[in-house]
Amino acid sequence: MVRRAQNFDDYGSAVHEVILASSDTEFFDQLIPVLNNACTTSRAPQLMQSLTNYSDDREADIERIGLTKHEEFLSSVTQLQSIRQGTVKLTTEILELNESIQTSTEKLAQQKQALVNTRAVRQNISEASSALHESLKILHAVNNAHELIRKKKYYAALKALDDLQNEYLVPILQNKFSTQHQLAAMIQRSIPTSKKMISEAVMADLKTWLYRVRETSQFLGEVAFYNTELRRVRQKNRVEEDPFLSKFKLNSAVELVFDESEEFDVLDNDELQVDFTPLFECLHIHEALNQSEKFRNDYSDDRRSQRDLLIPRTVNLDLDAEQSLSSLLEGIAGFAIIEKATMRRVPNLRTTIDVDTLWESMCSSAIELTERALEEIVNAEELLKIKTIIALFIQTMERWGYSVERLDNFLLTLFEKYADLLKRRFSEDFQEIVQTDDYMPMTIENAGEYEKVMNVSWFVQDQPLEELTFPCVLPFSQMYPLSCIDIRNFLNQFYFFADDHFQHPTVIDETLRKASPEPLESPTYQTGKTNINLPAQALDELLTEKVCNSLVERLSSQYLGQIVQILINLEHFEIACRELEQLLIAARSSTSAGGPITLEATERFRDNKKTAEKRIFELVNSKIDDLIDTAEYEWTASNPPQEPSNYMQTLTRYLSNIMNSVLLGLPREIKELIYFDALSHASEKIIGIAISPDVRAINPHGVAALAKDVQFLVEFVDSLENAVILRENLDELQQTITLLQSENTEELYDISIRNRKYGRVDALRGPQLLEKLVPLSSGVFSQTRNALNFRGFGGMGR
């Protein structure tokens, strides 16, 4: 800035002060303001007058001094002239300087104006630069947020938008005079759109994650199934080392404790890794956006849609059962495992009701599809594969805390179908065995074959193997060991269904324990309040309907050997049924209802043994009737017989032969009973010959013939075992002969003598026979013979 000119009221004092300056610098410093003032105020004449006055005063002083000091005066004049010259020169310079200063002052004023203008522009530029800088900060923050969105750092982008609002936009918007107000308002309006963009982006990533999860669900289920299979193998090995552990099934607390060292994460392993980060991030973002409820609903809808895509329309259970059904159940398992893992990791996202509802719906769909496909299954082995897959699915999902009650109930339905198919198949096998049997005692060629038969049959040989000679004959026919093999196979098929792949304490009871010498195992089932041993029930029906009834149908045969063999087979089947009953009782667990288990087949075999015995009695008695009907007694013969009748010899030979051949395999008590009945029937039949109305008279020779036959029969019976008991059947016959040969037949009518000697003689038939007795006399004999030229009586004795 230009210094303001100093006001001088009197240049005389100013000139005086300038002249008295102590130095040139001070001289000029004081002179310049005076000159500047004189020039600017147009008082240069006054200044010149003051200088002239000062000069005149000095000259007067000098003159005075010169008068007194001439030399000094001259010197001073000289100096003064010199000064004057200098003053003139200086005055000139001052004038020049004044002009220069005036010129400079104008330039300075122009420069000052230019400076002022420049400073204003600079201020505007500075303010614009500052505003631009602040705007750039805001734009940088916006760009940073969008860059984070592009980099999928959604939460950081959301945080950047919040920081943008709080740090920049809110303060600017609160100041209406801010130069960034318009920009801030525009960006503020765009923030909801940016947040929506973030929400859509995370949802898009989540949908991609859900798609990948759905694609990996089956593989996840496969990994889970494989891990369950490994756990079952480890548990089986532990049970083999310590049988006590068999009480603790898979997924029990004890098994889980034992398996802690083999911890395996199906969601994070060498084969598969399921990253839940997109889900966590999406949930976090929506929580930050206050859209948690909307997100939960959207996520639930997505999972339901994926559930619908997971379930196919049909399932093929034919030869591809393992592939088709396994794929379905593995997919369901993987889906359900993801649901449980999600619920555990994010408790607020999925509720137990949501997860269980999806699980129940998937189980219902799987069961419904499988039930429809079961209608086409005709092979029990295919059902066994299906059951194995479902049981593996049950154990896997039970480990994850899912309810498997419906699946367990479905396994019972599957088991009923399995049992029905087994019954059909083994029914055909039993039918074929019964129909193709030769009904002859089974011949064993060597020890190896003998051991095989003993291993499959419930038969205990009295002799040890070392004492047997081969070939040997067993009492039962070939159908019995073949049926035993089928029985064991039938029950073992149930064991295969109810092995350690199928475990649930409320559904399956313990399997049958081993039956010596081959394993025979079968499960016991409990449905509701009633214990049902399904293997026993099914086997009971097979044995009753296909074996017992078929054998009974063949009792109509006229071949005694076949009937005897049927009886022997019935006896051994009854023994087998009793053994099976004991096995079923012994195998029943402590949680099952008590009481005996009785197979209806046992009673049926026992009852039909009686039927077979009666049929044997019928055939033997029929043969006895046929033989005795051939008797040719000459009741009024003229000479006594010399030997027993042919029919009697044939009869005793027949009884001996059947006992030593056809009936040989029968139990001793049955053979004795048959003998007893046969002798009783023969005795009755022989007496019936004599008592027949066709026999009008009997002389002593006729009685002798009958007595000789009876004696022959008695001697035959005496040669048998238990002869004393068997002879009781001949007491009536013997006492009747004794009565007819007695000299005093009146003893029959004396009660005391009758009870002592003829107690077994029938009270009616005895007198009838006595009335037919005639004495030996030629006349009477001839008349009697002529009179009794009866219709074939001499031949058939009728």
Question: pLDDT at position 732, please?
Answer: 84
Pick the last residue of a domain from 102, 131, 160. Answer: 131
3-state secondary structure of 696: coil
Residue 360 lies inside a defined structural domain of this protein: yes
* Secondary structure class of 635 (helix, strand, coil): coil
Q: What is the pLDDT of residue 674?
A: 86
In a domain, 205, yes or no: no
Is the same domain home to 603 and 669? no
Q: Quick one: which H or E segment has residue 472?
A: strand 472-474
Helix residue spans in 317-379 (DSSP H): 321-345, 352-374
Domain boundary among 110, 131, 152: 131
Residue 163 belongs to a domain: no
Q: Quick check: pTM over 0.85? A: no
Count of structural domains, the chain = 4
| Same-domain status, 269 and 376 | yes
Whether residues 389 and 434 fall in one domain: no
Q: Are residues 320 and 425 both part of a single domain?
A: no
Question: Is 605 found in the same domain as 466?
Answer: yes
39 and 120 both lie in a single domain: yes
Q: What confidence score (pLDDT) does residue 362 get? A: 92
Identify whether residues 597 and 647 lie together within a single domain.
Answer: no
Residue 565 lies in a domain: yes
How far apart (Å, rounded) are the C-alpha atoms in residues 293 and 299? 10
Q: Do 536 and 576 meet the contact criterion of CB atoms below 8 Å apart?
A: no
Helical (H) or strand (E) element with 87:
helix 70-150
Position 587 scores a pLDDT of: 54
Q: What does the pLDDT read at residue 524?
A: 39
The boundaries of the domain holding residue 377 are: 213-400
Look at residue 359 in the predicted model and tell me its pLDDT.
Answer: 92
* CA gap 510, 521 in Å, rounded: 9
Phi/psi at 545 (nearest 5 deg)?
-80, -40
3-state helix, strand, coil in the chain (%, to 5): 75, 0, 25
Please report the pLDDT score of residue 590 as a whole number. Answer: 44
pLDDT at 240 (0 to 100) = 77
pLDDT for 364 equals 92
What are the distances in angstroms from CA 483 to CA 111, 671, 704, 751? Answer: 132, 26, 55, 60
Q: Give burial (CB, 10 Å; 0-12/13-18/19+) of 796.
A: middle
CA angle 80, 81, 85 (to 5 degrees): 115
- Of 73, 108, 131, which residue is a domain's last? 131
Considering the domain boundaries, does residue 97 fall inside one? yes
CA distances 199 to 162, 554, 734, Å, are 15, 84, 118
Residue 558 neighbours by CB under 8 Å, 6+ apart: 619
Q: Considering the domain boundaries, does residue 249 fall inside one?
A: yes
User: Residue 41: CA atoms inside 13 Å, Cβ hemisphere, count?
Assistant: 18
Both 247 and 352 in one domain: the answer is yes
Is 179 inside a domain boundary? no
In a domain, 146, yes or no: no
**Cα distance between residue 73 and residue 58, in whole Å:** 12
pLDDT along the chain (798 residues), means of 10: 53 74 72 75 76 80 69 71 78 81 82 84 78 71 73 73 68 65 71 76 84 87 86 77 72 71 79 86 81 86 88 75 78 91 87 90 91 84 85 88 87 83 84 86 87 85 78 86 86 71 41 31 36 61 85 86 88 87 62 63 88 88 89 86 88 87 80 86 87 87 88 88 81 84 81 80 82 68 37 31
**Do residue 592 and residue 669 come from a single domain?**
no
